[in-house]
Amino acid sequence: MCERCCNITTSIPYVVCGCHAMRHRCTASGKTWGASLVGVGIASAAFHGSYGSFREWGRRMDFWTISAASNLMTRALFPCVPASVTAAGMLATPFKPFLVSFVNSTAMELKFLAAARRNPKLRGPQRLHAVCCLLGLGAFALEDWKPDLPLVHSAWHLLSSTAVATINHLLADVEEEERCKQARNAQQRPQLVLQMQPLLP
Protein backbone atom coordinates (compact mmCIF):
# COMPACT_ATOMS: atom_id res chain seq x y z
CA MET A 1 0.00 0.00 0.00
CA CYS A 2 2.86 2.36 0.84
CA GLU A 3 4.51 1.72 -2.53
CA ARG A 4 1.21 2.26 -4.33
CA CYS A 5 0.87 5.66 -2.62
CA CYS A 6 4.46 6.53 -3.56
CA ASN A 7 3.82 5.62 -7.20
CA ILE A 8 0.70 7.80 -7.25
CA THR A 9 2.52 10.69 -5.57
CA THR A 10 5.50 10.51 -7.93
CA SER A 11 3.12 10.75 -10.90
CA ILE A 12 2.39 14.37 -9.90
CA PRO A 13 5.67 15.80 -11.32
CA TYR A 14 4.44 14.94 -14.83
CA VAL A 15 1.40 17.13 -14.24
CA VAL A 16 3.66 19.92 -12.93
CA CYS A 17 5.88 19.63 -16.03
CA GLY A 18 2.82 19.79 -18.25
CA CYS A 19 1.40 22.86 -16.52
CA HIS A 20 4.79 24.57 -16.77
CA ALA A 21 4.96 23.84 -20.51
CA MET A 22 1.42 25.13 -21.08
CA ARG A 23 2.33 28.40 -19.34
CA HIS A 24 5.76 28.97 -20.87
CA ARG A 25 5.70 27.51 -24.35
CA CYS A 26 4.97 30.01 -27.13
CA THR A 27 3.62 27.71 -29.83
CA ALA A 28 0.33 25.84 -30.00
CA SER A 29 2.20 22.56 -30.49
CA GLY A 30 4.34 23.23 -27.41
CA LYS A 31 1.28 23.97 -25.29
CA THR A 32 -0.45 20.86 -26.64
CA TRP A 33 2.56 18.79 -25.62
CA GLY A 34 2.27 20.31 -22.14
CA ALA A 35 -1.39 19.30 -21.96
CA SER A 36 -0.45 15.77 -22.99
CA LEU A 37 2.01 15.58 -20.08
CA VAL A 38 -0.83 16.43 -17.71
CA GLY A 39 -2.66 13.48 -19.26
CA VAL A 40 0.39 11.25 -18.70
CA GLY A 41 0.48 12.16 -15.00
CA ILE A 42 -3.25 11.58 -14.54
CA ALA A 43 -3.14 8.25 -16.41
CA SER A 44 -0.13 7.12 -14.36
CA ALA A 45 -1.83 8.00 -11.08
CA ALA A 46 -5.04 6.28 -12.21
CA PHE A 47 -3.15 3.12 -13.16
CA HIS A 48 -1.21 2.91 -9.90
CA GLY A 49 -4.38 3.55 -7.92
CA SER A 50 -6.45 0.98 -9.81
CA TYR A 51 -7.55 -2.48 -8.69
CA GLY A 52 -9.02 -5.58 -10.25
CA SER A 53 -10.09 -5.70 -13.88
CA PHE A 54 -9.54 -1.97 -14.39
CA ARG A 55 -5.82 -2.35 -13.69
CA GLU A 56 -5.10 -3.90 -17.11
CA TRP A 57 -6.95 -1.06 -18.86
CA GLY A 58 -5.16 1.42 -16.61
CA ARG A 59 -1.81 -0.02 -17.72
CA ARG A 60 -2.79 0.29 -21.38
CA MET A 61 -3.93 3.88 -20.87
CA ASP A 62 -0.61 4.63 -19.19
CA PHE A 63 1.31 3.28 -22.21
CA TRP A 64 -0.98 5.02 -24.71
CA THR A 65 -0.74 8.46 -23.10
CA ILE A 66 3.07 8.23 -22.99
CA SER A 67 3.16 7.26 -26.66
CA ALA A 68 0.73 10.05 -27.64
CA ALA A 69 2.75 12.60 -25.66
CA SER A 70 5.92 11.50 -27.49
CA ASN A 71 4.15 12.14 -30.81
CA LEU A 72 3.15 15.64 -29.71
CA MET A 73 6.67 16.28 -28.42
CA THR A 74 8.08 15.47 -31.87
CA ARG A 75 5.49 17.75 -33.45
CA ALA A 76 6.66 20.61 -31.21
CA LEU A 77 10.39 19.93 -31.71
CA PHE A 78 10.20 19.55 -35.50
CA PRO A 79 7.77 22.22 -36.79
CA CYS A 80 8.45 21.27 -40.43
CA VAL A 81 7.33 17.66 -39.98
CA PRO A 82 4.06 17.11 -41.91
CA ALA A 83 0.92 16.69 -39.83
CA SER A 84 0.39 13.34 -41.56
CA VAL A 85 3.47 11.95 -39.77
CA THR A 86 2.02 12.94 -36.39
CA ALA A 87 -1.34 11.44 -37.39
CA ALA A 88 0.36 8.18 -38.40
CA GLY A 89 2.11 8.02 -35.03
CA MET A 90 -1.18 8.58 -33.23
CA LEU A 91 -2.88 5.84 -35.25
CA ALA A 92 -0.04 3.43 -34.42
CA THR A 93 -0.14 4.24 -30.69
CA PRO A 94 -2.82 1.68 -29.64
CA PHE A 95 -0.98 -1.11 -31.49
CA LYS A 96 2.73 -0.29 -31.03
CA PRO A 97 3.05 2.20 -28.15
CA PHE A 98 6.60 1.18 -27.23
CA LEU A 99 7.86 1.43 -30.81
CA VAL A 100 6.23 4.85 -31.30
CA SER A 101 7.70 6.13 -28.04
CA PHE A 102 11.14 4.75 -28.93
CA VAL A 103 11.23 6.38 -32.38
CA ASN A 104 10.07 9.76 -31.07
CA SER A 105 12.43 9.64 -28.09
CA THR A 106 15.40 8.77 -30.32
CA ALA A 107 14.64 11.73 -32.60
CA MET A 108 14.43 14.01 -29.56
CA GLU A 109 17.71 12.73 -28.07
CA LEU A 110 19.57 13.34 -31.34
CA LYS A 111 18.12 16.84 -31.67
CA PHE A 112 18.94 17.68 -28.04
CA LEU A 113 22.54 16.51 -28.52
CA ALA A 114 22.96 18.50 -31.76
CA ALA A 115 21.39 21.62 -30.23
CA ALA A 116 23.65 21.38 -27.17
CA ARG A 117 26.73 21.21 -29.39
CA ARG A 118 25.56 24.37 -31.18
CA ASN A 119 24.22 26.30 -28.19
CA PRO A 120 26.36 26.31 -24.99
CA LYS A 121 23.32 27.30 -22.89
CA LEU A 122 21.79 23.90 -23.58
CA ARG A 123 24.78 21.86 -22.45
CA GLY A 124 23.86 21.85 -18.76
CA PRO A 125 20.22 20.80 -19.34
CA GLN A 126 21.33 18.22 -21.91
CA ARG A 127 23.82 16.67 -19.48
CA LEU A 128 21.18 16.52 -16.75
CA HIS A 129 18.77 15.00 -19.26
CA ALA A 130 21.31 12.35 -20.30
CA VAL A 131 22.18 11.43 -16.70
CA CYS A 132 18.50 11.09 -15.74
CA CYS A 133 17.82 8.97 -18.82
CA LEU A 134 20.71 6.62 -18.06
CA LEU A 135 19.76 6.29 -14.39
CA GLY A 136 16.13 5.83 -15.44
CA LEU A 137 17.08 3.00 -17.78
CA GLY A 138 19.03 1.44 -14.91
CA ALA A 139 16.01 1.71 -12.61
CA PHE A 140 13.78 0.23 -15.32
CA ALA A 141 16.16 -2.74 -15.77
CA LEU A 142 16.48 -3.21 -12.01
CA GLU A 143 12.70 -3.28 -11.62
CA ASP A 144 12.45 -5.89 -14.38
CA TRP A 145 15.20 -7.99 -12.74
CA LYS A 146 14.04 -7.57 -9.12
CA PRO A 147 10.32 -6.72 -9.25
CA ASP A 148 10.00 -7.07 -5.47
CA LEU A 149 12.46 -4.27 -4.70
CA PRO A 150 10.49 -1.40 -3.14
CA LEU A 151 10.26 2.15 -4.54
CA VAL A 152 12.27 1.43 -7.70
CA HIS A 153 9.33 2.43 -9.90
CA SER A 154 8.85 5.62 -7.88
CA ALA A 155 12.52 6.45 -8.45
CA TRP A 156 12.01 5.85 -12.16
CA HIS A 157 9.06 8.29 -12.12
CA LEU A 158 11.23 11.01 -10.57
CA LEU A 159 14.14 10.44 -12.97
CA SER A 160 11.82 10.32 -15.96
CA SER A 161 9.92 13.49 -15.02
CA THR A 162 13.21 15.34 -14.47
CA ALA A 163 14.38 14.28 -17.94
CA VAL A 164 11.06 15.42 -19.39
CA ALA A 165 11.34 18.79 -17.64
CA THR A 166 14.68 19.49 -19.35
CA ILE A 167 13.00 19.18 -22.77
CA ASN A 168 11.50 22.61 -22.08
CA HIS A 169 14.99 24.08 -22.62
CA LEU A 170 15.22 22.40 -26.01
CA LEU A 171 11.73 23.58 -26.97
CA ALA A 172 12.63 27.14 -25.98
CA ASP A 173 15.62 26.93 -28.33
CA VAL A 174 13.42 25.60 -31.16
CA GLU A 175 10.93 28.43 -30.62
CA GLU A 176 13.73 31.01 -30.70
CA GLU A 177 15.00 29.57 -33.98
CA GLU A 178 11.49 29.79 -35.45
CA ARG A 179 11.17 33.43 -34.35
CA CYS A 180 14.51 34.28 -35.98
CA LYS A 181 13.45 32.51 -39.17
CA GLN A 182 10.16 34.44 -39.27
CA ALA A 183 12.01 37.73 -38.68
CA ARG A 184 14.39 36.99 -41.56
CA ASN A 185 11.48 36.14 -43.84
CA ALA A 186 9.72 39.38 -42.88
CA GLN A 187 12.87 41.36 -43.75
CA GLN A 188 13.33 39.60 -47.08
CA ARG A 189 9.73 40.17 -48.22
CA PRO A 190 10.00 43.97 -48.81
CA GLN A 191 13.35 43.47 -50.57
CA LEU A 192 11.74 40.93 -52.90
CA VAL A 193 8.91 43.36 -53.70
CA LEU A 194 11.43 46.11 -54.54
CA GLN A 195 13.38 43.74 -56.77
CA MET A 196 10.22 42.77 -58.66
CA GLN A 197 8.96 46.34 -59.22
CA PRO A 198 11.10 46.98 -62.35
CA LEU A 199 9.63 43.82 -63.85
CA LEU A 200 6.05 45.01 -63.38
CA PRO A 201 4.36 46.84 -66.32
Q: Where are the domains of the chain?
A: 2-189
Task: Give me the pLDDT at residue 200, please.
Answer: 45
**pLDDT interval class at 30 (50, 70, 90):** very high
Say what the pLDDT of residue 185 is: 75
Q: Using 50, 70 and 90 to split pLDDT, how confident is the model at 2?
A: confident
Give the separation between CA 186 and CA 110, rounded to whole angstroms: 30
Percent of residues in the chain assigned helix, strand, coil, to nearest 5: 85, 0, 15
Whether the predicted pLDDT of 201 surpasses 60? no
Which among 181, 176, 164, 66 has a CA at the least distance from the CA of 108?
Answer: 164
40 confidence band (pLDDT: 50, 70, 90): very high
pLDDT of 198 over the 70 cut: no
Q: Are 175 and 25 in contact (CB under 8 A)?
A: yes
Contact (CB, 8 A) for 160 and 132 = yes
Residue 194 reports pLDDT greater than 80: no
| 8 Å CB contact between 77 and 113 | no
